[in-house]
Amino acid sequence: MTDLAIRPYRPADLDTLRRMTVDAFDGVTLEQNVESALGLLADHDWRWRKARHLDEDAALHPAGLFVAEAGDRIVGYISTRIDREAGKGRIPNLAVAAELRGRGLGRRLIEHALDYFRTEGLAYAMIETMAQNEIGQHLYPACGFVEVARQVHFARRL
């Protein structure tokens, strides 16, 4: 991956990032777990709901959305959020193209986000993952994150 570059997000990236998100989070997203338990909701499947997370990331903090490119192809991204008062940076979404997983790109994207948080003067960073996400369970501690809590999600139809 010598021709890899991490650059700022551009609005034209959004459709590609949505597709990459759905691919990367298949089997490891709360949205899919809810659908598995309750069935289709509001005429939208989990893919539609998860892809919308990128819409939120791009709308709420586009300056903290970074895209990895190899040549002219998007191969990954990371989104961030900043809470200046608390000194906290948060990483809501991270995805890498399937054929490049396990080659260090996720780690590079995380390090890029952490550098961004440092330049913003933040004190700490947070990231979360589902228990069934084996990649996240391995990668995040390898990047220096420590587990601080576990959460259980409940859902019901109305």
- Mean of the per-residue pLDDT values of the chain: 96
**pLDDT, position 3:** 87
127 closest CA partner among 152, 110, 151, 112: 110
**CB-side exposure of 84: number of CA atoms within 13 Å?**
4
**pLDDT, position 89:** 98
**pLDDT, position 59:** 97
Q: Which CATH topology does 4-142 take?
A: Aminopeptidase (3.40.630)
Looking at the predicted structure, is the pLDDT value of residue 2 above 80?
no
Paired with 90 in beta bridges are 81, 126
Ranges of each domain in the chain: 4-142
pTM: 0.95
- 69 near 4, Cβ under 8 Å? yes
Pairing of strands 88-91, 81-83: antiparallel
Query: Structure tokens of 55?
Result: 């819409």
Predicted confidence (pLDDT) per residue in 114-134, tens digit: 999 999 999 999 999 999 999
Predicted confidence (pLDDT) per residue in 70-118, tens digit: 999 999 999 999 999 999 999 999 999 999 999 999 999 999 999 999 9
Q: Which residues fall within 8 angstroms of residue 26, CB to CB, at 6 or more apart?
A: 32
